[in-house]
Amino acid sequence: MEIGSKSFEKIKNGAGNIGKVLLNIIYPQTCPVCQKIIPIGEGNICRDCLGKLKPIKNPRCLKCGKPLEEARIEYCRDCRRKKHSYDGGRCVFMYNKELRESIYRFKYNNKREYAQFYVDAMVLQCGDWIRRKQIDGILPVPLHEKRLLKRGFNQAQVLAEGLGKRLGVPVYSKYMVRQRNTVAQKQLNEKERQKNLKKAFKIVQNDVKLKRILLVDDIYTTGSTVDAVARELKQHGVSEVYFICLGTSGIN
């Protein structure tokens, strides 16, 4: 199911139980876009912000899920010229100013309550696609221990745990570690990204055997991070690796 106005209304108007109501009184839910307090019972995003986040719809790249200009084109420019190690992916929103600022607050201002909205959107947009893949386990892209200590949490793990709970799929947060504290990918070009991520990830939970894994992260750009994780997974017996991210860049 893709997110449209009616689907967003489902997110916004989701009924809460008594516990949620009491919790919302103590810790009011704020809109992930404008940061205003949302009245109790009106969901996870305010009405004025429904149209500010842009869901990705068809046509989209059959490999990475980026939006395409024409339906006759099966793959985006990046996926036509580059062979990826992963098997397929989906992104929920276009990475515009509103989403960028929302994710920044989520990651660096400890706005973990935004995950309720993000996970709802992931399920509405990509839930059917994920179910068709018959995923054995969900894996958040690991954060290096130094960044984890500084930030306090791994945003990908928060999303993965919410998604796993909604879809009934086990989450393996300790299956893999990020053994090298790499520099931020956004500062690098494509070749530098690949070099930066070389031997960055390592599987440590060897007693768990998985065949089809879904990776979870916040942003997809060139796919270098997902590829690096997928390569490590496939070298250790994983057959298929898919991913889901909140946002990706424009039409490609």
Domain boundaries, the chain: 52-248
Per-residue confidence band for 15, with pLDDT thresholds at 50, 70 and 90: very low
Taking each helix axis as running N to C, give the angle between helix 114-132 and helix 155-167, from 0 to 180 degrees, rounded to the nearest 10: 60
Q: Does the pTM exceed 0.75?
A: yes
Classified by CATH at the fold level, domain 52-248 comes out as Rossmann fold (3.40.50)
Strand pairing category for 137-140 and 212-220: parallel
Q: What pLDDT was estimated at residue 47? A: 85
Q: What is the percentage of the chain residues whose pLDDT exceeds 90?
A: 65
> What Cα–Cα distance (Å) separates residue 165 from each residue in 11, 126, 155, 168?
17, 15, 16, 5
Return the closest-CA partner of residue 170 out of 129, 118, 214, 112: 214
Q: What is the percentage of the chain residues whose pLDDT exceeds 70?
A: 81
Length of the chain: 252
Q: Does residue 227 have a pLDDT over 80?
A: yes
AA letter at 125: Q
- The encoded tokens of residue 129 equal 């696609």
* Structure confidence by residue, pLDDT tens digits, 76-131: 999 999 999 999 999 999 999 999 999 999 999 999 999 999 999 999 999 999 99
Point out which residues pair with 247 in neighbouring strands.
93, 219
Q: Does residue 1 have a pLDDT over 70?
A: no
Per-residue confidence band for 40, with pLDDT thresholds at 50, 70 and 90: confident
**Among the listed ranges 23-37, 50-64, 208-222, which one has the minimum average pLDDT value?**
23-37
